[in-house]
Chain A
Amino acid sequence: MVKFTEKERSTIRAIWEKVNIDEVGPDALARVLIVYPWTERYFGTFGDIFTASAVLNNDKVRAHGKVVLKALDEAVKNVDNIKKTYAYLSRLHYEVFHVDPDNFRLLADCITIAIACKVKSALDPQVQATWKKFLSAVVDAMNSQYY
């Protein structure tokens, strides 16, 4: 099980406090769709997501970005139990959405970049290291029900 020190917990909380879910969620998801275009295949019902400007103006992308970051909030609130917290989500993405689990890592990278753009120097190297440790635990948890 992943162990977080007190310092790591407060680092994660401190960065998360700076994150506006309604802003960073849509930004991160838009980045995934634009930087890794094959991910568009998972959003067939979202309408036009085939150009960068379409993605950036798409209401469903915006809404879903917020949903994803709200789920990340659950992980922040349950750092000692991310695997259990995400078991349902993992099963859902595996059995219902058939999402290739490599994509969770891509989304994690885009979330980090979106946060870097927003908080800039607050994401210093040590903070980035802690944040990545947290996101790796999240990505692992999302992978956990895939067999």
Chain B
Amino acid sequence: MVEWSEQERTIITSIFASLDYEDIGPKALSRCLIVYPWTQRYFGAFGNLYNAEAIKTNPNIAAHGIKVLHGLDRAVKNMDNIKATYAELSVLHSEKLHVDPDNFKLLSDCLTIVIAAKMGSSFTPEIQATWQKFLAVVVSALGRQYH
């Protein structure tokens, strides 16, 4: 099971406390769809995703980005039990949405870039290490129910 030091918990909770989910969520998801265009295949029902501008202004993408951040919020509030917290989400993405689990890493990378751009030099190497550890646990939990 993943162990978290007090310092790591503080880092994660304070980063999330500083985030406007309505801003960061859409930014991270739209970035993923632009940088890794094959991920658009999962959003066929979302309307116009034909170019970067369309993606950045698509309200369905924005709403879904916010949803994703709220999902991450649950992991932050249950850091000692992310696997169990995400079991249902994992089943959903596997059995209903048929998302290739490699894509979780891509979204987490895009979220990292958005956070880095927001925090600038405060996104120090140590903070990056803790942040990536958290996201790696999240990505692993999301992939857990795939068989």
Contacts and interface: CB of A to CB of B under 8 A. Distances in A.
Most buried by B among A33, A55, A117, A118: A117
Interface of B: 30-31, 34-35, 52, 55-56, 109, 112-113, 116-121, 123, 125-126, 128-129, 132
Interface stretch (A6-14, A93-101, A123-131): A123-131
Contact of B34 (A52, A117, A119, A129): A129
Determine chain B's interface SS by DSSP, over half rule.
helix
Determine chain A's interface SS by DSSP, over half rule.
helix
Contact of B126 (A34, A123, A132): A34
Interface of A: 27, 30-31, 33-35, 52, 55-56, 109, 112-113, 116-121, 123, 125-126, 128-129, 132
Contact of B118 (A120, A128, A132): A120
A113 to B, nearest CB: 5
B33 to A, nearest CB: 8
Contacts of A118: 120-121
